Structure 1
Amino acid sequence: MLTSLRNFFEFVLEYFVIFLMLILTTVVVVAVIYRLMGASLAWYDEVAAILLAWITYYGSALAALRRRHIGFDSVLLSIPMPARMWAVGLAEAITAGFFILLAWAGFVVMSILGGMSLTSLTWVPISFTQSVIPLGAILFLICQALSLPDYWRKTANGVSLEHAEIEEEVETEMKKAGHI
């Protein structure tokens, strides 16, 4: 059950982030073409900035699900057991606390900006564009929780996520080169 839920979130987030990247790329290319033709799009800067923020928030949730954020596995794994697992628990709790606070602040921001709209596209409510803050924070929390059991098990067994990823890439390249 947990694995299928994790796979679902990974699939949806991955393709949503790719979709956002394609939209941003299209917006940038269209804006460049317009500028080369001597015109400019009034909404380009505002929309591009919003899309970049959305990619950042939703991409960070995907990175949390895959446990691909910058970390210090070597330092963590050098801590003796059971203190290592206490450190993992503390780090997870601090991270969760931050994202709970961020989600709450995002909802407050959305309520304050409720009746406003974008400057260049007056039909787009700012609350829609700012919804990424609480939604991204909640998604991060869900993804962190979904990836925690595997991370907990690997950390308890002394397995480095960084080293495992490097070894996996080396093995893939060796297979491609025909050495394995």
Structure 2
Amino acid sequence: MAALAIEVPLGVVFRTIGMALAWYDEVAAILLAWLTYYGSALAAVKRGHISCPELVAIFPPALRLPLALLAEVLVFGFFILLAYTGWSILEVLATDHLVSLPEISVNYVQSVIPIGAVLILIGEALNLPAVYAEARHGHGGGGEDKAKEASH
């Protein structure tokens, strides 16, 4: 994030004085993609992604756990597919290089896809005990209260 915060204003300054940096746009796009993937992994560890635990809490206790587990299976399935596909892309792009910085391999740039997916999977796995506990007892331990709130 710091590199992006430095690189973007630097690119603007150089463009303003008529000495545009050839690599500015490409590097900014790459840094933003990296920030997105690695930030998503951090959000997965901190359980910061959008979710609806209150929706699960509305259901009877017997259905909460299966629904929560189904949601986790779908999340894991998606990121396993993303990691596999990302790895496959690396093989296809093995000989390609950036346009503005030909000494940098596209493989290096695109490695964020499988690495980010694996980091997100690790973050999700670390949170499975909390997901299980919330599903068994309702979100925050008051599933019935949440169900009453949501029904209004």
Q: What's the TM-score once normalised by structure 2's chain length?
A: 0.88
Gaps of 5+ in 2: 141-152
- In structure 2, the residue matched to 1:138 is 118
Gaps of 5+ in 1: 1-20, 161-180
Work out the number of aligned pairs and report it: 141
- In structure 1, the residue matched to 2:95 is 115
- In structure 2, the residue matched to 1:148 is 128
CA distance in 1, matches of 2:45, 2:128: 9
Name the SS of the counterpart of 2:61 in structure 1: coil
CA distance in 1, matches of 2:19, 2:63: 62
CA distance in 2, matches of 1:81, 1:57: 35
Flag the structure with more relative contact order, 1 or 2, with Cα contacts below 8 A and sequence separation at least 6: 2
**Corresponding residue to 2:105 among 121, 125, 145:** 125
- In structure 2, the residue matched to 1:22 is 2
Structure 1 vs Structure 2: percent identity of aligned residues? Answer: 46
CA distance in 2, matches of 1:125, 1:146: 33
Deviations 1:119-176 (A, max 9, x none): 000110000000000000011101100111123213322224xxxxxxxxxxxxxxxx
CA distance in 2, matches of 1:92, 1:159: 16
Are positions 1:82 and 2:70 aligned together?
Answer: no
CA RMSD of aligned residues (A): 1.3
Q: What's the TM-score once normalised by structure 1's chain length?
A: 0.75
